[in-house]
Amino acid sequence: MEVFIELSIIIGITFLIATIMRILKQPLIIGYIITGIIAGPRLFNVISSTELVSLLSHIGIALLLFIVGLSLNPRIIKDVGKVSSITGVGQVIFTFIIVFIISTLIGFSKIASLYVAIAMTFSSTIIIMKLLSDKKDMETLYGRIAIGFLIVQDLIAILVLMVISAIPEGLNFTHLIFGIILKGAGLLAVLSLIGIFILPRITKLIAKSQEFLLLFSLGWCLVLASTFDYFGLSMEVGALLAGVTLSLSPYRFEISSRLRPLRDFFIVLFFISLGSQMVFSDIMLYIVPILLFSAFILIGNPLIVMTLMGLLGYTKRNSFLAGLTVAQISEFSLIIVAMGVKVGHLPNEILSVVTIIALITIAGSTYMILYSNKIYPYLSRYLGVFEKKGKKVDEHRYHKDRSYDILLFGYNRVGYNILESFKKIKKKFLVIDFNPETITKLVKEGFDCKYGDANDSELLNELDFSKTKMVASTIHDIDTDLLLINKVRESNKKTIIIIVSHEIDEAVRLYDAGASYVLMPHFLGGHHVSTMIEEHGLNPTKFLKEKIAHLEHLSRRKDMGHKHPTHYGH
């Protein structure tokens, strides 16, 4: 019962701190670590069952790495692309070298410098994916590049985890060759065969039962983690590779979604445990390294990515936005350093230093990424040094004319119908979209297109609105739409401006700012049905014709890859 009360208090504190993090728009991981500090022996000393919390936190790490492994489908490596591979590997190498040199110069031991340098190289895939998703930037060019080099980083992190977990204190070269490499290679070979030939058949048989699939996946994760631990290669690596072996399965998304709530609970305890282990007695001795490394991660890492992308011929805006995604260290960094402490390579003080750096950089980079579109205009004039002269590989200028009768921002579910109307009225129009695949597809169909984001004031300044008779935007982001309306109205008071919105208050603001018409899909759908009822009455034949026409329309949409959203956000 004491353990139950202890966990209840810990979860209660976690909820309160997490609420504050939500208000501050910060990742909850920061709240979990702060909870550990508060509940730990340095403050309220709530955590007395340290062995139980440690055990549960290890399960959390196993589940976290298992789900990370599920997303690392080996087949996607070839799709990552040149820029993601070069940027991912390049950033890891340059960050490692620079941090290792700095660490040794300020007095860290060689082994501590090695761990700190490794920890500083990785960025948080989980946090960045969440932030990009919240900003609806997953499909943008910079978003795709960022996700690509984060995958490359994760693959490198897997190799690092395998080596560190298998190197005990006082390792000799013979043990490295025969005790680690051969055992690791043997297990990997067996797992590869199982993943290719056996697991797909098993998952196909058991996937008919959701509970059975969940039970099998959880069992596979824990069995493989235990097997690797038995052979001296750590449970963390075993859990991660258990996920990789199932990443080829068509049921990987289902497995991941089922296990995520379970993972979230246990991973909370890992970060709480991490926070409770932090040592503050000598932390002032490390204040200079903490500030130095935090500044380097927040500023130096983005500069490295911007330089590499600039050399590859990308525009300064995409380089800047992609660079911000590496301005923090990851959960992998904390796991690696925690493993270093566990195997006796590092003192607890180094774990405390890296954890504080994680708190600073995750908090700082979160705001930088969330407000990147507002920060960029202030820095744009100074970023030209990171941009090659001449044509850029990501400009995608598939048009010749300077002025157009109509400009369409965002070709999506709504934009598809609008574009069909533009074709019928036979006016000269230009499609502007941030998804390079969409641009390529429309170009093949013979449409004038331009790659770009309506958030980019530089792009808007390039466009000639003076002769434009209509501007339509399907973006439904209030700040972006207000910026667009203001830019258009500065050049042309008569232009028809059509905007999409899902909120009544926002629609009123857009009208006040100068929108000609605000399209609200929710209300429009109800209006359409009511019109059909008025026109067709209770005639089943007419509704059958509507049904046939709608099915044909839906079939065309499905062929184009369109999906109806499950929810609406800003």
pLDDT tens-digit series, residues 482-539: 999 999 999 999 999 999 888 889 999 999 999 999 888 777 777 677 778 888 888 8
Query: Taken in order 345, 349, 351, 354, is the CA torsion positive or negative?
Result: negative
pLDDT band at 180 (very low <50, low <70, confident <90, very high): low
What's the one-letter identity of residue 438?
T
Question: Which of 339, 359, 386 is the last residue before a domain boundary?
Answer: 386
pLDDT tens-digit series, residues 326-381: 999 988 899 889 888 888 888 888 999 999 999 999 999 999 999 998 899 889 98
Pairwise pLDDT comparison (50 vs 72), residue with the higher score: 50
Question: Which of 363, 386, 409 is the last residue before a domain boundary?
Answer: 386
Q: Give the CA distances from residue 81 to residues 75, 415, 473, in Å, rounded to whole numbers and listed in that order.
A: 12, 29, 30
Find where tokens 């434009």 sit.
468
255 HSE (CA, 13 A, CB side): 32
Q: Please give the pLDDT value at position 117.
A: 95
Residue 445 and residue 370 share a domain: no
Residue 166 in any domain: the answer is: yes
The pair phi, psi for residue 398, each rounded to 5°, is -110, 55
Question: Which of 343, 359, 386 is the last residue before a domain boundary?
Answer: 386
Pairwise pLDDT comparison (556 vs 269), residue with the higher score: 269
Q: Distance between CA 520 and CA 528 in Å, rounded?
A: 12
Q: What share of the chain is helix, strand, coil (3-state, %, to 5)?
A: 70, 5, 25
Which residue, among 297, 281, 299, 294, has the nearest Cα to 349 in the 3D structure? 281
Residue 20 in any domain: the answer is: no
Residue 414 and residue 346 share a domain: no
404 CB-near residues (< 8 Å, 6+ apart) = 428, 429, 430, 448, 468
pLDDT tens-digit series, residues 137-177: 877 888 888 888 888 888 788 778 777 766 655 555 455 55
Residue 322 in any domain: the answer is: yes
CATH number assigned to the domain comprising residue 460:
3.40.50.720
H or E element that contains 451: strand 449-451
Residue 202 in any domain: the answer is: yes
Residue 258 and residue 405 share a domain: no
Q: Please give the pLDDT value at position 447.
A: 86
Q: Please give the residue range of the domain that contains residue 421.
A: 397-519
Residue 484 and residue 361 share a domain: no
Residue 120 near residue 293 (C-beta atoms within 8 A): yes
The pair phi, psi for residue 80, each rounded to 5°, is -65, -40
Would you mind telling me the total number of residues written for the chain in this entry?
570
H helical segments located in 166-300: 173-174, 182-193, 199-206, 210-230, 235-246, 252-276, 287-295
Residue 359 and residue 466 share a domain: no
| 406-409: strand order across its sheet | 397-398, 449-451, 429-433, 406-409, 470-473, 496-500, 517-519
pLDDT tens-digit series, residues 334-345: 988 988 888 888
Residue 244 and residue 312 share a domain: yes
When mean pLDDT is compared across 2-16, 164-178, 327-341, 446-460, the lowest value belongs to 164-178
473 CB-near residues (< 8 Å, 6+ apart) = 408, 409, 410, 454, 480, 481, 484, 497, 498, 499, 500
Q: Please give the pLDDT value at position 174.
A: 52
Instruction: Please provide the average confidence, as pLDDT, over all residues in the chain.
Output: 83
- 3-class secondary structure per residue, 390-433: CCCCCCCEECCCCCCCEEEECCCHHHHHHHHHHHHHCCCEEEEE
Residue 282 in any domain: the answer is: no
Q: Distance between CA 159 and CA 161 in Å, rounded?
A: 5
Residue 39 in any domain: the answer is: no
Residue 531 in any domain: the answer is: no
Q: Distance between CA 253 and CA 125 in Å, rounded?
A: 17
A 10 A CB-CB count for 43 gives: 12
Q: Distance between CA 42 and CA 151 in Å, rounded?
A: 37
Residue 452 and residue 379 share a domain: no
Q: Please give the pLDDT value at position 173.
A: 47
CATH number assigned to the domain comprising residue 71:
1.20.1530.20
Residue 71 and residue 123 share a domain: yes
Q: Distance between CA 224 and CA 132 in Å, rounded?
A: 32
